[in-house]
Amino acid sequence: MNIPAHLEKLRRQEALLARLDPFEDFELWNWVAMSAGTNALNAALHAAGITSDRDCYPVRPNKYMEPGDPPGTWKQAVGPLGDLLHVDVPKLDVPVPPTMDIALEAMRVIEAYRDPCVRWTHPITTDVATACETAFRECVHITDTVLRAAGYQR
């Protein structure tokens, strides 16, 4: 997906996050924050030239769907690393700037609470919600800086 498409999704997802409470609505808040943060990461990784922003979307690590022929159809393709599905899926096998490492680590915090709190029965506490909200804000702040340096504005 290209940078403007990621940023449009990020804007819509942030508008939804603003209507949710990170503690009271944690399960939904966490899923939306993971998706929004992944869009922010993908846009910044594309802007930094680390991943490709070709017209495709990931369906599995290193497997993509891209426009087919005729128009309106899709075909499976393997190509250079494009969008991440999750923060470490697929793993980045290239060096990233230190600030992007911090953004990636922030997303790992949010994702680390997904399974225990959303799929299993780990208690959702204010500390968990605060840690995730802080991590999301940190990720978006860093990715915004990378995007601005490349000439993109949310």
CATH code, 124: 1.20.120
Q: What is the pTM of this model?
A: 0.91
Partnered with residue 86 across adjacent β-strands are 89
**Residue range 38-51, pLDDT digits in tens:** 999 999 999 999 99
Residue 16, domain member (yes or no): yes
- Rounded-to-integer distance, Cα 40 and Cα 34, Å: 10
**Residue range 11-45, pLDDT digits in tens:** 999 999 999 999 999 999 999 999 999 999 999 99
Residue 94, domain member (yes or no): yes
Pairing of strands 74-77, 57-60: unpaired
Domain range holding 126?
3-53+84-149
Q: Which helix (H) or strand (E) holds 17?
A: helix 3-19
Residue 62 pLDDT > 80: no
**Residue range 116-126, pLDDT digits in tens:** 998 888 999 99
Detail the DSSP E strand segments found in the chain.
57-60, 63-67, 74-77
